[in-house]
Amino acid sequence: MIADCYHYSMEEFNMTDVCIKRIEEKRLNCQPSPSTFERPFKLMVKNEIFTVDSKKLNENSDDIADFLRCLQDHQQINEWNLPVLLRLANKYQVESLTKACCLYLEAANLDHVKPDQVLTLLTSAHEHHLPKASIGPLILRMAQENRSTFTRLRLNRYLPANLYTAVIGTNMNLNTIKEVEKMNGHFLRIERGSIYYKKALCSMCKKIVDSSECEGCKMTLCQTHWQTSPCGNEFGKRMLKQLKENLVDIELDY
């Protein structure tokens, strides 16, 4: 018999010392089968022992092990086990673990997480009614992808309408910010993700060329002159700051 022992503190269940033991049954004169690896757990709460059969609970023993391990040490939470942890925390009403998952999403660097996994995290976070502060970073990370990735992942099918709208809106905001940051303090009209030009008299070179009007200084400028002449009005800077502050706009349906 091989036993692995862990200790946990669980205020939700008024427990001080919880020990999980994984028991390996000896099977004699029989061929190994997949069930061999489904070892039952035993929980020892103070002086009482409770058997947790992962099959009867319809749970994978590895999921239960991750659940208990992360309950003891929140540093074990990652992008791969978080969906399972949210599900089990909700099932067994362990609010402290749900909060730990929320804090993980709010603080984690999601840049390295692939979009497929971000989609999994996003659907799980929404399913378990996580707050905006936790869902926002996932929306922002997904919005950093291009439209071809959205199509490949079929976001319009797998995400609720409010989350899909938030992803698309944030993607547009990111593109707008990139354009405004290039405008030398001006705030020029943007259409289809790029600066809108029309034939007009440039206020500086006095030539009829492709020009764009600044909403701040109200001057009509060709590309050469808005790039070389900073805007004398603060409107463009204020709009850029506002865009960054309201980058992710999401309305939750719960």
* Alpha-helix residue ranges (DSSP H) falling in the chain: 61-72, 82-91, 95-107, 115-127, 132-143, 147-153, 155-158, 161-180, 223-228, 235-245
Residue-wise pLDDT for 62-87, tens only, equals 998 999 899 889 999 999 999 999 99
Q: What does pLDDT average to over the chain? A: 84
First-residue to last-residue Cα distance in the chain = 48
Q: What is the spatial distance between Cα 81 and Cα 69, in angstroms, rounded to a whole number?
A: 11
**pTM listed for this prediction:** 0.77
Asked whether the predicted pLDDT for residue 191 surpasses 80, the reply is: yes
pLDDT band at 60 (very low <50, low <70, confident <90, very high): confident
Strands 15-22 and 7-10: antiparallel
Q: What is the spatial distance between Cα 121 and Cα 110, in angstroms, rounded to a whole number?
A: 11
Domains of the chain are: 40-108 (no CATH), 172-246 (3.30.60)
Asked whether the predicted pLDDT for residue 214 surpasses 60, the reply is: yes
Q: Is the distance from CB of 19 to CB of 48 less than 8 angstroms?
A: no
pLDDT at 32: 47
pLDDT at 51: 56
Q: What is the spatial distance between Cα 36 and Cα 39, in angstroms, rounded to a whole number?
A: 7
Residue-wise pLDDT for 135-157, tens only, equals 999 999 999 999 999 999 999 99
Asked whether the predicted pLDDT for residue 216 surpasses 70, the reply is: yes
pLDDT at 22: 45
Q: Other C-beta atoms within 10 Å of 79: how many?
A: 17
Q: Is the distance from CB of 92 to CB of 18 less than 8 angstroms?
A: no
Residue-wise pLDDT for 93-140, tens only, equals 889 999 999 999 999 999 999 999 999 999 999 999 999 999 999 999
Q: Which residues touch 223 (CB under 8 Å, ≥6 apart)?
A: 197, 210, 212
Residue-wise pLDDT for 18-53, tens only, equals 444 443 343 344 444 444 445 566 655 345 554 555
3-7, 175-179, 223-227: which has the minimum mean pLDDT? 3-7
Nearest alpha-carbon partner for 106 in 145, 77, 85, 81: 77
Q: Is the distance from CB of 79 to CB of 86 less than 8 angstroms?
A: no
